[in-house]
């Protein structure tokens, strides 16, 4: 077993001392899609002592071309990504602690999730969640590493709250009409290079080295690369990372909340407060009307009115086949909440 | 006019004379970007004023959201 990390220890900037540090660290990965999977696998193999990975989604066939932790069996059974990732990471490295959480990262659970965390890795696919991550990381002074990829392009930036510019310093408004992996496509190599930059920065930070202040971007197909030192863009009046920060994205909303998952013809509906839904009982209730009601460890899926419903234990529901928020709310009230 | 864009030599058409026009010519004017002009970062509201000259070095990074 002592052999396990020998090549990584031979790498001078890490050494045996660095390896010992890695074993004591806790990394939180938000999102277990393509970037989350790639980062998680590298970090588990590298011997990070504790990895927590949170994801709100379940595995579909369209994920398998690039989300490296998952198998055909996972897609066939609509397994929650967080749970499948946990099992796979434990199989890769049984000597570390791994926990998968099948929930959404949101202002309600952010504080608890960031407790005892050394660094956060961005494995999300949307800017809504990234701005929540950014505010939470700034508030609790946890470094985080932004990563994004689409088509053959990727980008990454390390953020050290209070010292380097945060996402809000660089982007003062939520980007609109942005290309997503569903609308513009994505290839595996773009994921791997982006995750490689993220994991390398993470290993640097955890072994006591300084992270880069450069925003790096590339096109792995067109062979373009660019790197800009953004340290001067730190905004002294930033709403998220300055001394008088307001943390605008941590404000908790009340009542039912909805989110349109862009490019997926899907609306997510969340109850005002998290509650433990008895999925078996709900399945029995809708079984007479619904097509194929199936329950697994964390979710129930069924068909109704030509829509596909996926209900998680905490009441959060994905409704596929609908883009209108009002219609989604109606369907939610009718079949899930009743 | 010839510039270095993300490390590559590019010949610009005559109607591209500012950073804003350069972004527009690559259809990324509306995207959120960070632009460096001869090692100085240009603020978004200065894109129109930033005149390009032969031999300039430009780096453009635009944010992407997928993952």
A86 and A110, same domain (yes or no): yes
The interface pTM score, or ipTM, of the predicted complex is: 0.92
Q: Is the pLDDT assigned to residue A175 strictly greater than 90?
A: no
Amino acid A158: pLDDT: 98
B13 close contact with A: CB closer than 8 A: no
**A89-109 pLDDT, tens digit each:** 999 999 999 999 999 999 999
The rounded distance, in Å, linking the Cα atoms of A4 and A262 is: 42
> Nearest by CB to B65, which of A178, A227, A233?
A178
Amino acid A256: pLDDT: 84
Q: Is the pLDDT assigned to residue A203 strictly greater than 70?
A: yes
Amino acid A274: pLDDT: 75
Q: Is residue A44 one of the residues assigned to a domain?
A: yes
Q: Is the pLDDT assigned to residue A327 strictly greater than 90?
A: yes
Q: Is the pLDDT assigned to residue A14 strictly greater than 70?
A: yes
Q: Do A155 and B64 touch (CB under 8 A)?
A: yes
**A225-258 pLDDT, tens digit each:** 999 999 999 999 999 999 999 999 998 777 788 8
Q: Which of A217, A250, A283 is the last residue of a domain?
A: A250
Q: Is residue A120 one of the residues assigned to a domain?
A: yes
Please state the rounded mean pLDDT for residues A165-175.
88
Laid out side by side, the sheet with A266-270 consists of A257-261, A266-270, A317-320, A307-312, A299-304, A291-295
Q: Is the pLDDT assigned to residue A177 strictly greater than 90?
A: no
Amino acid A183: pLDDT: 79
A228 and A275, same domain (yes or no): no
Q: Where are the beta strands (DSSP E) in chain A?
A: 26-30, 50-54, 97-101, 119-122, 144-150, 153-159, 214-219, 224-229, 257-261, 266-270, 291-295, 299-304, 307-312, 317-320
A152 and A276, same domain (yes or no): no
A275 and A156, same domain (yes or no): no
Contact residues, chain A, for B60 at CB < 8 Å: 226
Asked if A125 and A102 count as a contact pair (C-beta separation under 8 A), the reply is no
Range of the domain at B54: 2-62
A285 and A320, same domain (yes or no): yes
Q: Which of A220, A250, A280 is the last residue of a domain?
A: A250
**A291-324 pLDDT, tens digit each:** 788 999 899 999 988 999 999 998 999 999 998 9
Asked if A178 and A189 count as a contact pair (C-beta separation under 8 A), the reply is no
Amino acid B41: pLDDT: 95
Q: Give counts: helices (H), strands (E), chain A.
A: 12, 14
Q: Work out the minimum CA distance from B61 to partner chain A, whole angstroms.
A: 6
Q: Which of A250, A274, A307 is the last residue of a domain?
A: A250
Least confident range from A36-45, A115-124, A168-177, B57-66: namely A168-177
Range of the domain at A119: 6-250
CATH number of the domain encompassing residue A291:
3.30.310.10
CATH number of the domain encompassing residue B42:
3.10.20.30
A57 and A185, same domain (yes or no): yes
A50 and A194, same domain (yes or no): yes
Q: Is residue A95 one of the residues assigned to a domain?
A: yes
A111 and A141, same domain (yes or no): yes
The rounded distance, in Å, linking the Cα atoms of A337 and A332 is: 6
CATH number of the domain encompassing residue A16:
3.40.50.720
Q: Is the pLDDT assigned to residue B1 strictly greater than 70?
A: yes
Q: Work out the minimum CA distance from A27 to partner chain B, whole angstroms.
A: 18
A10 and A131, same domain (yes or no): yes
Q: Fill in the DSSP letter of residue A249.
A: G
- The helix (H) or strand (E) run that includes residue A197 is helix A188-206
The number of distinct structural domains making up chain B is 1
Please state the rounded mean pLDDT for residues A143-171.
97
Q: Is the dihedral of CA A33, A38, A39, A41 positive or negative?
A: positive
Amino acid A182: pLDDT: 78
Amino acid A255: pLDDT: 77
Asked if A186 and A34 count as a contact pair (C-beta separation under 8 A), the reply is yes
Please state the rounded mean pLDDT for residues B2-8.
94
A66 and A137, same domain (yes or no): yes
Please state the rounded mean pLDDT for residues B57-62.
94
Contact residues, chain A, for B64 at CB < 8 Å: 148-150, 153-155, 178-179
Please state the rounded mean pLDDT for residues A18-40.
98
The rounded distance, in Å, linking the Cα atoms of A48 and A101 is: 18
Q: Is the pLDDT assigned to residue A261 strictly greater than 90?
A: no
The rounded distance, in Å, linking the Cα atoms of A302 and A315 is: 14
Q: Is residue A1 one of the residues assigned to a domain?
A: no
A154 and A112, same domain (yes or no): yes
Q: Is residue B67 one of the residues assigned to a domain?
A: no
Q: Work out the minimum CA distance from A325 to partner chain B, whole angstroms.
A: 22
The number of distinct structural domains making up chain A is 2
Tokens of A179: 């290309």
Q: Return the exposure string of A269-289: e unless at least 16 CB atoms fall within 10 Å of the residue's CB, then b.
A: bbbeebeebebeebbeebeee
**CB within 8 A of A130, min separation 6: which ones?**
A122, A124, A146, A167, B65
Q: Do B34 and A153 touch (CB under 8 A)?
A: no
Contact residues, chain B, for A149 at CB < 8 Å: 64, 66-67
Amino acid A288: pLDDT: 85
CB-count burial class (<10 Å; 0-12, 13-18, 19+) for B27 = exposed
């Amino acid at each position: 077993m002592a052999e396990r990390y020998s090549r990584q220890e031979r790498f001078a900037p890490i050494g045996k001392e660095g390896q010992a540090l890695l074993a004591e660290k806790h990394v939180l990965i938000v999102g277990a899609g393509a970037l989350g999977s790639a980062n998680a696998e590298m970090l588990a193999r590298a011997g990070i002592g504790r990895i927590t990975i949170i994801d709100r989604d379940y595995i579909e066939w369209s994920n398998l071309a690039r989300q490296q932790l998952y198998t055909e069996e996972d897609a066939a059974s609509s397994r929650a990504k967080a749970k499948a990732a946990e099992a796979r990471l434990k199989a890769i490295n049984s000597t570390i602690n791994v926990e998968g959480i099948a929930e959404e990262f949101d202002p309600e659970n952010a504080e608890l999730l960031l407790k005892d965390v050394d660094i956060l890795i961005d494995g999300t696919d949307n800017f809504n969640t990234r701005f929540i991550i950014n505010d939470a990381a700034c508030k609790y002074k946890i470094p985080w590493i932004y990563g994004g990829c689409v088509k053959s392009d990727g980008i990454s930036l390390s953020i050290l709250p209070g010292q380097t510019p945060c996402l809000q310093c660089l982007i003062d408004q939520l980007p609109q009409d942005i290309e997503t992996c569903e609308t513009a496509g994505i290839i595996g190599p773009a994921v791997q290079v982006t995750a490689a930059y993220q994991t390398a920065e993470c290993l640097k930070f955890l072994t006591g080295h300084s992270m880069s202040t450069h925003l790096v971007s590339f096109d792995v197909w067109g062979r373009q690369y660019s790197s800009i030192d953004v340290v001067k863009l730190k905004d002294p009046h930033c709403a998220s990372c300055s001394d008088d920060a307001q943390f605008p994205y941590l404000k908790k909303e009340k009542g039912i909340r909805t989110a349109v998952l862009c490019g997926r013809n899907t609306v997510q509906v969340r109850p005002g407060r998290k509650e433990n839904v008895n999925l078996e009982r709900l399945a029995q209730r809708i079984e007479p009307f619904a097509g194929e009601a199936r329950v697994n460890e964390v979710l129930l899926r069924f068909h109704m009115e030509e829509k596909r419903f996926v209900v998680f234990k905490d009441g959060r529901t994905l409704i596929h086949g609908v883009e209108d928020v009002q219609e989604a709310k109606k369907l939610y009230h009718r079949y899930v909440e009743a | 006019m010839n510039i270095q864009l993300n490390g590559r030599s590019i010949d610009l058409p005559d109607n591209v004379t500012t950073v804003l026009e350069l972004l527009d010519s690559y259809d990324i004017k509306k995207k959120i970007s960070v632009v460096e002009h001869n090692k100085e970062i240009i603020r978004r509201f200065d894109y129109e004023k930033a005149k390009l000259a032969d031999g300039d070095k430009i780096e453009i990074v635009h944010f992407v959201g997928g993952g």
